[in-house]
Structure 1
Amino acid sequence: MKRFLTVLLLLILAGCSSGLRIDRSHTSTNQDSRTQFVVLHYTSASLERSLALLTHGEVSSHYLVGDDRDATVYQLVDESRRSWHAGESQWQGRTWLNSSSIGIEIVNPGYTDTPNGRVWHPYSEAQVQALIALLKGIVQRHNIAPQHIIGHSDIAPLRKLDPGPLFPWKRLADAGLGVWPNANAVARQQVFFDANPPSVLWYQQQLARFGYAIEQNGELDVATRHVIAAFQMRFRPQRFDGQPDSQTAAMLQVLNTQR
């Protein structure tokens, strides 16, 4: 019996020692990060409520930028894992961006509807500085192109407005963390479009080229107006009525040419 137990123990040990061995001394050069995009949001809630929703609710994000004096940045999901922040979404032909993006929520009420109209809430300087620092690290780690830093309203223009018209897209672009049309080029191009208004189909084609999901039907339908408004809200926040005009056309043309 004793000999039997000894043999059994040796067999068990032999089995343990013959486990899978992985050699990691060879690394392929043909690889990159699974993360291709960064998507920016506002929370429409207080810091406390945002933390509760993003940690125990049905949605999540990789980071949350707080609204306290130093705009504390909370990491809620590891960058190597998927968070549930984008929902049904599309950008540059890629769908369901949860799987290929890092989500950043910023504590901000979004907007308040008043008897005198909708009032949008600004972002604090501390939040902007914290966001820029956070983005620089993410971009470096994942080699993310500037045009792949986008808003929730870009990837879901029919249902989302965040991060809203007061989000400082130009500040980010000036820091190398986004795109912005050259003002002189836009002014020159606008003169041309004043005399030669493009068709609705042209807008749809140019918006699709930039990245938006939009049907190419040549009709100024509700969906097309929503996408135009999303583009305007980002690049011309003073007026985002969803109507085609020469300035919008010029910005689209310049941005697509710059790329």
Structure 2
Amino acid sequence: MKRFCWPLIVAALLAGCAGEKGILDRGDYQVDVRRQAQAAYPRVKVLVIHYTADDFDSSLATLTDRNVSSHYLIPAIPPEKGGKPVIWQLVPERDLAWHAGISYWRGATRINDTSVGIELENRGWRNVAGQKHFAPFSAPQIAVLAKLARDIIQRYQINPANVVAHSDVAPQRKDDPGPLFPWRQLAAQGIGAWPNSDRVAFYLAGRAPYEPVDEAELLTLLHRYGYEVKPDLTDAQRKRVITAFQMHFRPARYDGLADAETEAIAQALLEKYGQG
């Protein structure tokens, strides 16, 4: 009789363990997760904002095809269900999506590996008499983006300086989300970086905002903040880096020229958030 009791006791103990907090039953085996390593870090460190440069249906088709993907897609006018705006999640946050492409930020490459990407339905820009004219973003779209972005930032404790534009991490290839994206408005809600106006004035030191400054010195500041600045960049490529910075932090004028206000903004950002 005793021979048959022992297996029953073991089975009962195992059943009790399976229901114990921190013991996960995965069918053919169990996993004890009660002791977690300290040297573990979240994959996600960066939040990248894009525009789709297309309508919603075409954007959804592109982002669910084989060549490109993004974690989220937000329509220009999000539909509502049960009184709440609906957005599309196309890739789980734990998985890598191919949205940033060849990229660089704050010393890191392969930004896809460490980021969540959010695509906003937006037509992008069109050429009018040789000038880029960007499409605006709707208030409902930005409102739900703010809620989503805040959740992601809190979930992964993302540094404000790591909430970036696609053009920040790939300035030679991309313009999105462009100068009409409300970075300042979002920063006021705790989403992303923005310089303090009094510190910009301090570093401007009475100079006229558009007074020319040394381009090499400005690019050194931008590289310290996070942008990729290689020594062999052409004149056009250097201008692209400055333009990307200006579209993000000085959208009133984004001509790619090195001026005093752009320099002062870079200095104020470095003071506030440190270098990458």
Q: Report Cα offsets for 1:97-120 as digits up to 9, x if no partner.
A: 111100100000011222474321
Could you tell me which residue of structure 1 aligns to residue 267 of structure 2?
253
1:19-168 mapped onto 2 (5 Å cutoff): 22-70=31-79, 72-115=86-129, 117-168=131-182
For residues 220 and 56 of structure 1, what CA distance do their matches in structure 2 show? 35
Q: Report Cα offsets for 1:117-139 as digits up to 9, x if no partner.
A: 43211100001111000011111
Tell me, yes or no, if structure 1 residue 231 matches structure 2 residue 240: no
For residues 157 and 116 of structure 1, what CA distance do their matches in structure 2 show? 20
CA contact (8 A) 1:89 1:96 kept: yes
- CA shift at 1:198, angstroms? 4.9
Q: Which moved more, 1:30-39 or 1:163-172?
A: 30-39
Amino acid at match of 1:236: R
Tell me, yes or no, if structure 1 residue 203 matches structure 2 residue 218: yes
- CA shift at 1:143, angstroms? 1.2
Amino acid at match of 2:34: S
Structure with the bigger percentage of helix = 1
For residues 197 and 46 of structure 1, what CA distance do their matches in structure 2 show? 40
Q: How many residues align?
A: 240
Tell me, yes or no, if structure 1 residue 175 matches structure 2 residue 189: yes
Q: Which moved more, 1:44-53 or 1:60-69?
A: 60-69
Kindly report the root-mean-square deviation, in angstroms, between the aligned alpha carbons of the 2 structures. 2.1
CA contact (8 A) 2:124 2:176 kept: yes
Q: Report Cα offsets for 1:65-106 as digits up to 9, x if no partner.
A: 112254631000000101010100000110011111001000
Q: 1:62 to 1:153 in 2, by over 3 A?
A: same
For residues 99 and 245 of structure 2, what CA distance do their matches in structure 1 show? 20
Q: 1:222 to 1:216 in 2, by over 3 A?
A: same
Look up the SS of the partner of 1:187 in the other structure.
Answer: helix
Question: If the length of structure 1 is used for normalisation, what is the TM-score?
Answer: 0.86
In structure 1, the gaps of 5 or more residues are 1-18
- CA shift at 1:20, angstroms? 6.5
Amino acid at match of 2:51: Y
CA contact (8 A) 1:85 1:98 kept: yes
Give the fraction of aligned pairs with identical amino acids, expressed as a percent: 39
Q: Report Cα offsets for 1:10-40 as digits up to 9, x if no partner.
A: xxxxxxxxx7664322112332211110111
- CA shift at 1:202, angstroms? 1.6
For residues 120 and 20 of structure 1, what CA distance do their matches in structure 2 show? 55
